A = this chain, B = another copy of it.
Amino acid sequence: MSPVTNGINGHDFTVESLADKILSRVESNDPFFSLEFFPPRTEQGAANLIGRFDRMRAGGPLFVDITWHPAGDPGSDKITSSTKIAGTVLNYCGLDTMLHMTCVKQTKETIKKNLEKTKNLGIRNILALRGGISPNADADESWGYQEGGFNYGVDLVRFIKQEYGDAFSICVAGYPNGHPDSTSYQDDLLHLKEKIDAGGQFIITQLFFTAEEFLTFVKDCREIGIDCPIIPGIFPIQTNRSLVQLTKLSKLSIPEEIQKVIEPIKDNDAAIRKYGIDLATDMCRTLLNSGKVHGLHMYTLNLETATIQILKNLGLWCQDVAKPLPWKTSANPERRENETVRPIFWCDRPKSYIHRTQGWDEFPNGRWGDSASPAFGELKDYHLFFLRSRTAKDKLRSLWGKELTSEADVWKVFKHFITGAVNENGVKVTETPWNDDGLSPETNVLSSTLSRYNELGVLTINSQPNVNAVPSTHPIYGWGDKGGYISQKAYLEFFINKHYAEALKTVLPKYHPRVNYHMINKCGTTDHTNADRSNPNAVTWGIFAGKEIIQPTVVDPVSFIVWKDEAFGLWHERWASLYEKGSKSREIINDIADNYYLVNLVDNDYPADSILWEVLDEMLAASQKVDMGKKSNGVCGENGTQKIEELQIH
C-alpha cells in the first residue's frame, strides 16, 4: 500500500459540471456570460472563427455555445461541422463548450453516434432541442412526427439521461414568448417543466425584446415549480437584415417602439449597431438589477464588436482573466484536471502542442518525469485550420519580405518582430511562423536586448527572463491563485548559422554546469547538450498557500528533438512556401532551415542576473576567431537527407 496509488497518475478526478458552475455563480451572486456561435460555412471561415474564440476568451466567458446546423452535416468530421467546431473550441481554444443537438427526424442510432462522438471530444454540455423549426415548416408532417421516436426536446433529454446519466450537463430552451409551434404560452410552460423534470438542468431562452417579458416568464416558471437557473438569451440588434430574419424564424413581431427607431436608419449599419448596443445594455442592466438574473447568454451572430461592447458596458467583460497556469490550457476535462506540465518549446504554439499530444491517455501531472519515449503525434499538416495563420499570403509577404536578397533580410524580419517597428513595406511585423499570437509579454520585457542579437543573426523564437518569487498576480509573470509566488529560470531559444554555432561550442564549457544548452541541426546529425537527457529542467514554478509546488514548464531534452522537426519545418512550410519554386527568396529560407542550428539555453542560477547575454557576447567575440575553413560540416537538404557541403579553403 502506498499513499500515491490514487490520484497522481490515475484517472480519478472530478470535474465540476457546467450545471454546477452555473449554480455556484448564481449562489455567490457572481454574474457571468456565455457566447453563442453558429458553425462557419467555409474552411477559411473556420480559421477566422478560431481567431475570434481566442480573442473572446480574453473576456472570460463561462462557456461558448455552438448551434447545430442540420444542413452542415453537424455530426461529421468536416471542418465546418457543428461537432468539429465545438470540439476545437473546447480542446484548442480552452473554452468550456456546449453543443446544441436536435432530435427530430433522426434515428436513435444517429443520435447515439453523435452523442458518443461529442463525449469523446470531451464536450460535456448539450443544449437538447427538438429542431425542425424552419420558416417553411407549416404542416405537422414537415417536422416529422414519428410514433415512438424523437418528437420533442424532452425525448432527447430523456435519451441523454438514460444513456449517459450525469455525464452531460443538459440545457433546454425556454420561450418567453411561447414556442413558435406551440398551442399556447401555458402549454409551452408545461412542456418546459416536463423537460426539466426529465433531466434538464438549466434553461437558456429564445430572444425577446423587453426585460419585462423575460421577468414575467421567470415568474411563471417559478410558479409551476421550475427551480433551475434561467439564463436570458440576449440578441443585440446588429443589422436590420439579421433582425428581420431572426424574428421571422422565431415568429416574433418586432415591438413598435423599436420599429419606429429602426425604420429611419435601417440602411445605416453603424447607427443600427450603436442603437442595438445601447438597447441591449439597458435591457441587460434592468435584468441584472432585478436580482432574478445572474448570467447573460449572448447571441453573437459570429460577430464580436457589439457583444464585447455590451459586456464592457455592463462590467462583465473581464479585463484580467485568471490564468491557472502560465501556458494556454485546454478546456477538455481530462486535460484541465490532470495536465500541469508542458515543455516550454510549444509555449507560443499551444494548439500544435495539444494536437500532437491529443492521443495521450494521461497527461503529466506534478512533474514531467522520465520522458524517454514521449509519443508525440507527427505534425504533417502545418496548415490544419486551427493552426493556420489568419493572415493572407500577400500580407505575410509584406511582413516577412516580398523579395529576399540575403540572410540579413531575414535577420531584419526577426528584429522587426521583436521591436514592433515598421518594416520597409510600412507594416509592423506582428507574427512569425513560430508565434501563434504575436510577441508574448515576457519576450517584450527583453525586447531591446533581444533586438540587438537578432540584428546580428541570433534569431530568437522563445525566451523568458529569470525571476525570483514575484507575486502570482504579477501582470507579466503571474498565474495561478492569488497570494502565491512565481519563479523562473532565464531561457533563450534561437536559430544561428554554423559559424556562430562553432563559436558557441567553444564558449559553452566555461558556463557548465550553470548554463544548460542543447544545440541541434535539422536532421539531427549534430546534437550537443550538457544536460542529462533523461532529466527535464523545470524553468517555471509557483509556490501557493496550502499546495504542493506547481512546476508547469520544463525544458525536456527528449521533447526538444520532437520540437526541432516542427521548428525547422516551419521555415519551409510557412515561410519558404510564400515564394515561387526556384526563386531566390525561397532558396534563402530553405538554406537557413538546412544549415542553421536550433539552440536552447537555460541559466540555472535564477536568483542572480541572467548570464545568457554574456554567453551570446562571448559567442559573437569567439566567432571572429573561428576559422571555418578547416572543416567541412554535415548539412541537411530540404528533404531532410544529409549531404556534405564542401567549404572553401581560405
Interface residues on A, range: 35 or more
Partner among B4, B362, B375, B536 whose Cβ is within 8 Å of the Cβ of A364: B4
Complex-state Cα separation, A371 to B605, whole angstroms: 33
Least distance between A431 CB and chain B CB atoms (Å): 29
Interface bits A311-335 vs B (CB < 8 Å: 1, else 0): 0000000000000000000000000
Contacting pair B3 A375 (CB below 8 A): yes
Most buried by B among A363, A538, A545: A545
Partner of A546, one of B366, B372, B375, B532: B532
* Stretch of A5-13, A72-80, A636-644 contacting B (4+ beta carbons < 8 Å): A5-13
Is A606 an interface residue when CB atoms closer than 8 A count as contact?
yes
Give chain A interface residues in 502-560, CB to chain B under 8 Å: 513-514, 516, 531-532, 535-538, 541, 543-549, 551, 554, 558-559
> With A4-B9, A7-B369, A367-B8 in contact, is A487–B543 under 8 Å at CB?
yes
User: A63 contacts the other chain (Cβ, under 8 Å)?
Assistant: no
Is B368's CB under 8 angstroms from A367's CB?
no
Of B375, B514, B551, which is within 8 A of A1 by CB? B375
Contact B538 A547 (CB under 8 A): yes
A339 nearest CB across to chain B (Å): 10
Q: Are A549 and B549 in contact (CB under 8 A)?
A: yes
Please tell me if the beta carbons of B545 and A549 are within 8 angstroms of each other in the complex. no
A375 to B2, CA, bound (A): 6
A487 to B549, CA, bound (A): 11
Q: What's the minimum C-beta distance from A512 to chain B, rounded to whole angstroms?
A: 9
A164 proximal to B (CB < 8 A): no
A391 at the interface (CB under 8 A from B): no
In the assembled complex, A360 has its CB within 8 A of some CB on chain B: yes
Most B CB contacts (10 A, CB to CB) among A4, A372, A485 go to: A4
Partner pick for A536 among B370, B487, B543, B548, CB 8 A cutoff: B548
A545 shortest CB reach to chain B, Å: 4
Instruction: Tell yes or no: A408 within 8 A of B by CB.
Output: no
For this chain, the copies found in one complex come to 2
A361 adjacent to chain B (CB < 8 Å):
yes
A225 within 8 A of B: no
Measured between alpha carbons, how far is A304 from B441 in the docked complex, in Å? 62
Indicate if the CB atoms of A370 and B483 lie closer than 8 Å: no
A590 contacts the other chain (Cβ, under 8 Å)? no
B contact residues around A368 at 8 Å (CB) = 3-4, 548
Most central of A373, A537, A543 by chain B CB within 10 Å: A543
Residues on B with beta carbons closer than 8 Å to the beta carbon of A469: 468-469, 487, 606-607
Cβ contact within 8 Å between B546 and A483: no
A374 within 8 A of B: yes
Binary contact readout A340-382 vs B (1 if CB under 8 angstroms, 0 otherwise)? 0000000000000000000111111111111111110000000
Inter-chain contact B604/A483, CB cutoff 8 Å: yes
Closest B residue to A469 by CB, please name it: B607
Chain A residues 109-163 with CB under 8 Å of chain B are none
Q: Are A367 and B364 in contact (CB under 8 A)?
A: no
Cα distance, A373 to B535, chains bound together (Å) = 30
Contact B366 A367 (CB under 8 A): yes
A369-B366, A468-B468, A514-B483 given; A546·B604 CB < 8 A: yes
**Residues on B with beta carbons closer than 8 Å to the beta carbon of A554:** 548
Contact of A367 among B516, B548, B606 (CB under 8 A): B548
Q: Check if A548 sits within 8 Å of B537, measured CB to CB.
A: yes
| Residues of B contacting A559 in the complex (Cβ-Cβ under 8 angstroms) | 3
Q: Which of A544-602 contact B (CB under 8 A)?
A: 544-549, 551, 554, 558-559, 602
CA distance A572 to B20 in the complex (A): 49
Please report which residues of chain A, range 385-441, place their CB below 8 angstroms from some CB of chain B when the two chains form the complex.
none
CA distance A3 to B9 in the complex (A): 11
- Asked if A359 meets B536 with Cβ closer than 8 Å, knowing A485-B607, A548-B367, the reply is no
Question: Please, which residues of chain B bring their CB within 8 A of the CB of A2?
Answer: 360-364, 374-375
Q: Which residue of chain B has its CB nearest to the CB of A10?
A: B370
Q: Give the complex CA separation of A531 and B532 in angstroms.
A: 37
Hey, which chain B residues are within 8 Å of A606, CB to CB? Answer: 469, 485, 543
B1 touches A361 (CB 8 A): yes
**Neighbour of A545 across the interface among B3, B513, B545, B551, CB < 8 A:** B513
Q: Are B543 and A370 in contact (CB under 8 A)?
A: no
Interface membership of chain A positions 466-507, coded 1 if the CB is closer than 8 angstroms to chain B and 0 otherwise = 001100000000000001010101000000000000000000
Closest beta carbon of chain B to A122's beta carbon, Å = 16
Given contacts A2-B375, A3-B364, A468-B469, 15 further A-B contacts (CB under 8 A): A1-B373, A2-B362, A3-B360, A3-B368, A3-B370, A3-B371, A8-B367, A8-B369, A469-B469, A541-B549, A543-B604, A544-B604, A548-B554, A549-B549, A549-B551
For the complex of A and B, the 9 pairs showing the least CB-CB separation, nearest first, are A7-B370, A3-B374, A1-B375, A545-B604, A3-B371, A8-B369, A366-B367, A2-B360, A469-B607
Interface CB pairs A-B, < 8 A, 10: A1-B360, A2-B362, A3-B364, A3-B559, A4-B9, A6-B370, A469-B607, A487-B543, A535-B548, A538-B547
